[in-house]
Amino acid sequence: MSLETIGKLVAQHSSSPVEVQQKIDKLATEQAMVRNMFTWLTLGMIILGIGVAMIIVNKNFEIGKWFSLLSSFFVLGGVGVSMAGLLNAMRTGSSISGTRPNQKSLGAGAVPGQQPPSITERTTRLLPAEDTHTNKLIETKSYNVD
């Protein structure tokens, strides 16, 4: 018995069929997005590898400047293809989630009414101050955090 079947059975008993179908569709979309991203990344790495191999061959056999230029285009093209696959996956992933958290999803106490004291301010208060006229340390009040 596969885990996917067990997951579907649990989801059917815990929520409505519409929610189950939405979750299944979202999961399928995410899987397709990740598969597409890795395909583009793999293709970009292959092109990049060909470009690096061409650079090594040109260094050893000195074929010419045109070959060096061609190998540079392959390297840059491989990086571009990989980056396009990654950016496309990021764009698709952000459109899949598409929901922005609101105050209800954050919870009632998520945004405090009063800000906590600054760490920098506390550290400054804990450091002893130096009197510039006498070059002696002056006692300062300590900051108590309860």
pLDDT tens by residue, the chain, 146 residues: 577 777 777 766 666 777 777 888 888 888 999 999 999 999 999 999 999 999 999 999 888 899 999 999 999 999 999 999 999 999 988 887 665 555 455 555 555 566 776 777 777 777 666 555 665 665 555 555 55
For the chain, the domains span: 3-95
What does the pLDDT read at residue 26? 85
* pLDDT value of position 142: 57
Residue 135, sorted as left (phi over 0), alpha (psi -120 to 50) or beta, turns out to be: left
For every residue of the chain, which 3-state class applies, written as one string?
Answer: CCHHHHHHHHHHHHCCHHHHHHHHHHHHHHHHHHHHHHHHHHHHHHHHHHHHHHHHHHHHHCCCHHHHHHHHHHHHHHHHHHHHHHHHHHHHHHHHHCCCCCHHHHCCCCCCCCCCCCHHHHHHHHCCEECCCCCCEECCCCCCCC
So what's the pLDDT on residue 92? 87
pLDDT at position 88 = 93
Residue 121: predicted pLDDT: 74
